[in-house]
Amino acid sequence: MAENRGVVYVGAGKVEVQDIRYPDLVLQDGPGVNPLNVGRKCHHGVIVKVVTTNICGSDQHMVRGRTTAPSGLVLGHEITGEVVEVGRDVEFIQIGDLVSVPFNIACGRCRNCKQQDTHICQNVNPDRPGSAYGYVDMGGWVGGQSEYVMVPYADFQLLKFPDKDQAMDKILDLTMLSDIFPTGYHGAVSAGVKPGSTVYVAGAGPVGLAAAHSAQLLGASVVIVGDLIEERLAQARSFGCETINLREHTNLGEQMEQILGVPEVDCAIDAVGFEASGHGEGASEAPATVLNTIMGITRAGGKLGIPGLYVTGDPGGVDKDAKEGTLKIRFGLGFAKAHTFVTGQTPVMKYHRDLMMAILSGKAQIAKAVNATLISLNEAPAGYEAFDGGASKKFVIDPHGLVKA
């Protein structure tokens, strides 16, 4: 049987590349696997040889020790690869197909999946609706920062690229379809971005940059990105965004007025999540900062897209409430301004085909926007360390050395 290696969470602040089990079409017991999922037969699944797999900010939350992820968990939910084995119940996906794997695991059979709410599938995670590869409390499906991975419900989930050679030429863009590009786009759509909109994006990490680029694709007149790290803000400016350094400026409305002539925007996107920091030099962690800020600077009747991750359990939370995901949010302000809040994981399948076509046509330049940076599987631990340090890069792992420099 072929060998397999993957990126494994060892403990707070540490990942290692280790030998791991080669996948088969049964979900085996292992770190983080829900006991009710052990032994689950997946004849509707395929084995994928991973071509690219990306390091995500959501992975970083676990690696920092800010979740209840167990040691030994194989990481990675952003997966693109070539099908090398198909289950007996697979009809339409074939060996050799180059595919994008949505990070949401979805059965295609339940009520939510039939409504395109594939981010809250009812049949893949015994704990609660919604699942993902290599992620804590998501059912235990093995992660894809590896050489090979099993993907269930292949006919329903997989996005096949129409031409393999063309796809490989644009693989650094197409690899973003598994999560980050649909997530940023969902944030912009949820915020109601339309032609002429003024938009504020909180956070210039990869999701924030993807959201900013998505807002531009949707026709926004001005996109403003706020962050504490100047390197990330420079990346946002590289594709036409206005920026605000939140370490230097604490009055966001004042900065908005200098840019727009008014102290508010039409809509806002939270691309930070529960590890948010206060604003200003020396500010400490304050998990409700972004949510309260965007309510303050979004016009009455505006929408707030919230793709930033919030959790129900945070061992490193700043207080007892934060440890269970209870935040001090000014909900009365949101009510008074008649804001619409849209939260939750992104239903990738709602967007990924359209975004694929935008990439293949040259309309979308997502790899450039997020500064896609190719690394080997062995370099993954260093990639995690650099990303944690604030590097303005989206690290793309190439486990088999298949991507051209």
pLDDT (average), residues 9-20: 96
The reported pLDDT for the residue numbered 404 is 84
The reported pLDDT for the residue numbered 314 is 87
- The H or E element spanning position 167 is helix 164-169
Tell me the pairing of strands 98-101 and 26-27: unpaired
**Is residue 2 over pLDDT 60?**
no
Helix (H, G, I), strand (E, B) or coil at 358: helix
The reported pLDDT for the residue numbered 139 is 94
pTM reported for the whole predicted model: 0.96
Residue type, 8: V
The reported pLDDT for the residue numbered 270 is 97
4: left (phi over 0), alpha (psi -120 to 50) or beta: beta
Contact call for residues 167 and 161 (beta carbons, < 8 A)? yes
Which DSSP state fits 132?
Answer: B
Contact call for residues 141 and 105 (beta carbons, < 8 A)? yes
Query: How many residues are recorded in the chain?
Result: 405
Q: What is the pLDDT of residues 126-144, one digit of tens each?
A: 999 999 999 999 999 999 9
Helix (H, G, I), strand (E, B) or coil at 275: coil
What confidence tier does 405 reach under pLDDT thresholds 50, 70, 90? low
Instruction: Round to the nearest angstrom and report the end-to-end CA distance of the chain.
Output: 30
The reported pLDDT for the residue numbered 313 is 85
The reported pLDDT for the residue numbered 397 is 98
**Is residue 361 over pLDDT 60?**
yes
Q: What is the pLDDT of residues 227-258, one digit of tens each?
A: 999 999 999 999 999 999 999 999 999 999 99
User: Which tokens hold the place of 151?
Assistant: 């993907």
Name beta bridge partners: 40. 27
CA–CA distance, 346 with 236 (Å, rounded to integer): 22
Helix (H, G, I), strand (E, B) or coil at 372: strand
Q: What are phi and psi of 58, to 5 degrees?
A: -65, -35
What confidence tier does 85 reach under pLDDT thresholds 50, 70, 90? very high
Calculate what percentage of the chain has a pLDDT beyond 70.
99
pLDDT (average), residues 188-197: 98
Q: What is the pLDDT of residues 294-350, one digit of tens each?
A: 999 999 999 999 999 998 888 888 999 999 889 999 999 999 999 999 999 999 999
Helix (H, G, I), strand (E, B) or coil at 265: strand
**Is residue 1 over pLDDT 50?**
no
**Is residue 186 over pLDDT 60?**
yes
Question: How many C-alpha atoms does 21 have within 13 Å on its Cβ side?
Answer: 16
Contact call for residues 364 and 358 (beta carbons, < 8 A)? yes
Q: What is the pLDDT of residues 373-390, one digit of tens each?
A: 999 999 999 999 999 999
List of domains in the chain: 5-179+347-398 (3.90.180.10), 183-342 (3.40.50.720)
User: Which tokens hold the place of 243?
Assistant: 């920026």
Contact call for residues 321 and 327 (beta carbons, < 8 A)? yes
